[in-house]
Amino acid sequence: MNAQPRPLPLETPPTDDLVGDVQRLEGVIAGWEGSQQSVAIAYRKAIDALHKAALRKIIAAVKATPAALDALRSATEDPIVYTILRHHGLVRPSLQERVEEALAEVRPMLASHGGNVELVAVIPPDAVEVRFLGNCDHCPSSTLTFVAGVRRAIEDHCPEITNIRQVKGTSGSGAAVDFASPFAGTWVHATALPSIPQHGVTALVIEGEPLLLARSGRTVTCFRDACAHLGLAISGGTVTEGRIACPHHGFVYDLSTGECLTVPEVQLSPVPARLVGDRVEIRREA
């Protein structure tokens, strides 16, 4: 890999740019050979350890001053402060993170039956709403098993949750419209355009969700990395002429639209993607 790190700007850039820089540099390091990677990783760990020790001292000093505790709590509500403290293990995962971890744990079991589950809402202090998708929402007897598995996982990760509600697939108005407002959600950095092979695909995990990015020139499409057949990862499939064949049972999909050419009734689940310069961004729902 020939990509060289570009110098970081001297002024304080927006948070998205900082995170993007870190991810871009991690991508560069991932392309280095083993011994170079080890040095870079050891260097990053040493810097992390230094920062963690300093942050610990700051937190200890603040805790010794009860009047300052509120200021610390409100500082941790800032996403970047929270992310850094979480990175160093200095704050507990949020309730939402723990629920997402629980759902991630049961997703392979659901996927093996062609289904999925999504978190609809966390309602502090003790309730969550989830929605079952795909086959999980269609087969009554299987649903009982799925609900029990999801309940057990959430209770293991979040003992404070005592009320797990299942939301059906339609909106509150009863209209079965799956509408994603272009003004909702946040665009997050996924990768750099050159890291996706021309006329090929790249698999990524963003915020715990496996995704498949496909590129044709400067056009990038993104889908959840889950075959519409049984929900298994499709990213290991063979790509030919803008199509990918699922490595498991051979369903073929058009990478520009996600349409399944084997069984036209189904398709890959699309995720909005855009290019900002050479940055590939995907939209995460709010």
Which residues would be at the binding site for ligand FES (CB under 6 A)? 227, 229-230, 232, 246, 248-251
Q: Whose Cβ is closer to ligand FES: residue 31's or residue 242's?
A: 242
Q: Is 102 exposed, middle or buried (0-12, 13-18, 19+ CB in 10 A)?
A: buried
Q: Which amino acid is at 141?
A: S
The two tokens of residue 3 are 């990509």
Q: Whose Cβ is closer to ligand FES: residue 99's or residue 227's?
A: 227
The minimum distance between CB 214 and ligand FES, in angstroms, equals: 16
Q: Whose Cβ is closer to ligand FES: residue 88's or residue 113's?
A: 113
Say how many C-beta atoms besides its own lie within 10 A of residue 211's C-beta. Answer: 22
The minimum distance between CB 239 and ligand FES, in angstroms, equals: 14
The minimum distance between CB 255 and ligand FES, in angstroms, equals: 15
The minimum distance between CB 18 and ligand FES, in angstroms, equals: 38
Q: Whose Cβ is closer to ligand FES: residue 37's or residue 112's?
A: 112
CB of 211 closer than 8 Å to CB of 204:
yes
The minimum distance between CB 232 and ligand FES, in angstroms, equals: 4
Q: Whose Cβ is closer to ligand FES: residue 137's or residue 225's?
A: 225
Q: Whose Cβ is closer to ligand FES: residue 132's or residue 251's?
A: 251
Q: Whose Cβ is closer to ligand FES: residue 116's or residue 195's?
A: 116
Q: Is 8 exposed, middle or buried (0-12, 13-18, 19+ CB in 10 A)?
A: exposed
The minimum distance between CB 209 and ligand FES, in angstroms, equals: 18
Q: 113: closest CA among 143, 153, 78?
A: 143
Contacts of 131 (CB under 8 A, 6+ apart): 117, 118, 120, 137, 166, 167, 168, 169
- Helix or strand (DSSP H, E) at 27: helix 15-30
Q: Whose Cβ is closer to ligand FES: residue 195's or residue 235's?
A: 235
102: left (phi over 0), alpha (psi -120 to 50) or beta: alpha
Residue with tokens 């009047």: 67
Number of H helices, E strands in the chain: 6, 13
The two tokens of residue 113 are 């039956």
The minimum distance between CB 254 and ligand FES, in angstroms, equals: 15
Question: What gap in Å lies between CA 230 and CA 224, rounded to an integer?
Answer: 13
The minimum distance between CB 231 and ligand FES, in angstroms, equals: 7
Residue with tokens 């009554």: 140
Say how many C-beta atoms besides its own lie within 10 A of residue 19's C-beta. Answer: 14
Residues in the chain, overall count: 286
